[in-house]
């Protein structure tokens, strides 16, 4: 799967990275005209945000052909039940080799959004709030699932799952808790 992502990832970065640097260059010039300076630390945090969002979109949106099952264009609007049912089915039918795939998907959805809960409030004062990080995680996850839904009409093999939204939002929550446990106070006060 990784080799199938490398070519599109390279192309996406080849296009967006120069645009990112141009945007930051002109933004810095604009800030200088306002007599406000952006620190190197802040620029680095902005750059990490760019890298993070681009990588998440590559991982979740770029179509990766996989082995198709009978449940190809799956859409799950039933929270938690389907994921639990799949796990119980795998255990009861002794399909232990598939449990690792289930865990990878479930835990991966949480881990994917932990950096969002950490870097967003560090990079932007506006997001140094539990509610704003949770809301942003939720909306970003819904955006990804919406893109996956509409991309199925263009031959993408992605599925849409409400559990992904729940797990991604949970990841943003854990990331923010992790960030707060190390910073204790807002870094902007």
For the entire predicted model, the pTM comes to 0.84
Rounded to whole angstroms, how far apart are CA atoms 89 and 155?
Answer: 29
Give the confidence band of 68 by pLDDT, cuts at 50, 70, 90: very low
Annotated domain spans of the chain: 2-66+75-183
pLDDT at 72: 52
pLDDT at 64: 66
Rounded to whole angstroms, how far apart are CA atoms 5 and 144?
Answer: 17
User: DSSP 3-state assignment of 76?
Assistant: strand
* pLDDT cut 90: percent of the chain above it: 50
Q: Kindly list the distances between the CA atom of residue 47 and the CA atoms of 4, 5, 8, 40, 52, in Å, as whole numbers in the listed order.
A: 25, 21, 20, 10, 9
* Sign of the CA dihedral running 145, 124, 52, 23: positive
* pLDDT tens-place string over residues 38-67: 788 999 999 999 999 999 999 898 876 654
* pLDDT tens-place string over residues 4-45: 778 888 999 999 999 999 999 998 888 777 777 778 899 999
- Contacts for 77 with CB less than 8 Å, ≥ 6 apart: 162
């Amino acid at each position: 799967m990784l080799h199938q992502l490398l070519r599109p990832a390279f192309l996406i970065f080849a296009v967006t990275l120069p645009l990112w640097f141009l945007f930051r260059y002109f933004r810095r010039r604009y800030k200088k005209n306002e007599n406000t300076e952006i620190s190197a630390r802040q620029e680095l945090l902005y750059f990490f945000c760019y890298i993070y969002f681009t990588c998440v979109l590559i991982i979740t949106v770029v179509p990766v052909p996989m082995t198709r099952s009978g449940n190809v264009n799956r859409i799950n609007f039933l929270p938690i039940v389907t994921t639990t049912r799949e796990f119980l089915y795998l255990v009861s039918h002794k399909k232990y080799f598939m449990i690792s795939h289930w865990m990878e998907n479930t835990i991966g959805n949480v881990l994917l959004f932990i950096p969002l809960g950490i870097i967003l409030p560090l990079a932007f004062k506006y997001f140094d709030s539990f509610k704003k990080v949770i809301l942003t995680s939720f909306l970003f996850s819904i955006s990804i699932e919406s893109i996956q839904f509409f991309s199925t009409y263009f031959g993408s093999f992605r599925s849409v799952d409400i559990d992904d939204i729940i797990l991604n939002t949970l990841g943003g929550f854990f990331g923010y808790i992790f960030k707060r446990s190390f910073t204790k106070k807002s870094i902007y006060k």
